[in-house]
């Protein structure tokens, strides 16, 4: 149970999934810069690689798809069937929402994907990558 809480903490705080100290992304605020995609190569604290193998983050697309559905499905259904908004307005609202949340969805997807494969080791303080 502690590991699950730790993974959630790592995902929300944007920290290294192995030590929960080093930051994964260069800029803390995803909206601070257009370079919201820039990541560190390795953890500054434990040395964990944030790009373990070529094409590692292609799998994060599935997480991104799930997050996108989690936003569009309830909002779309609410607007269409509860508030009876016109379909084109619904599409415009959903497009705006997805563009507005693009940096957050991008980062969450990668952080979830990283945490899916890298185990939390609180004692990992040396700069020895695995
Ligand atoms: Zn680390």
Distance 4 CA to ligand 1 centre (A): 17
Cα–Cα distance for residue pair 129/45, rounded to 1 Å: 10
The mean of the pLDDT values for the chain is 90
Beta-carbon contacts of residue 47 (< 8 Å; ≥ 6 apart): 126, 127, 128, 129
**Does the structure show a pLDDT above 90 at 35?**
no
pTM for the complete prediction? 0.85
pLDDT of residue 124: 58
pLDDT of residue 6: 82
pLDDT one-digit tens code per residue, 66-86: 999 999 999 999 999 999 999
Distance 93 CA to ligand 1 centre (A): 38
- Contact call for residues 98 and 68 (beta carbons, < 8 A): yes
**Does the structure show a pLDDT above 90 at 122?**
no
Distance 48 CA to ligand 1 centre (A): 5
Distance 39 CA to ligand 1 centre (A): 13
């Amino acid at each position: 149970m502690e590991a699950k809480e730790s993974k959630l903490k790592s995902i929300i705080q944007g920290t290294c999934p192995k030590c929960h100290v080093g930051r994964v992304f260069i800029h803390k605020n995803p909206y601070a810069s257009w370079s919201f995609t820039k990541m560190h190569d390795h953890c500054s604290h434990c040395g964990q690689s944030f790009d373990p193998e070529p094409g590692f983050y292609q799998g994060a697309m599935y997480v991104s798809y799930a997050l996108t559905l989690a936003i569009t499905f309830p909002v779309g259904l609410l607007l269409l069937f509860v508030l009876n908004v016109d379909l084109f307005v619904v599409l415009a609202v959903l497009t705006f929402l997805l563009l507005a949340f693009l940096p957050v969805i991008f980062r969450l997807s990668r952080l979830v994907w990283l945490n899916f494969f890298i185990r939390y080791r609180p004692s990992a303080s040396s700069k020895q990558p695995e």
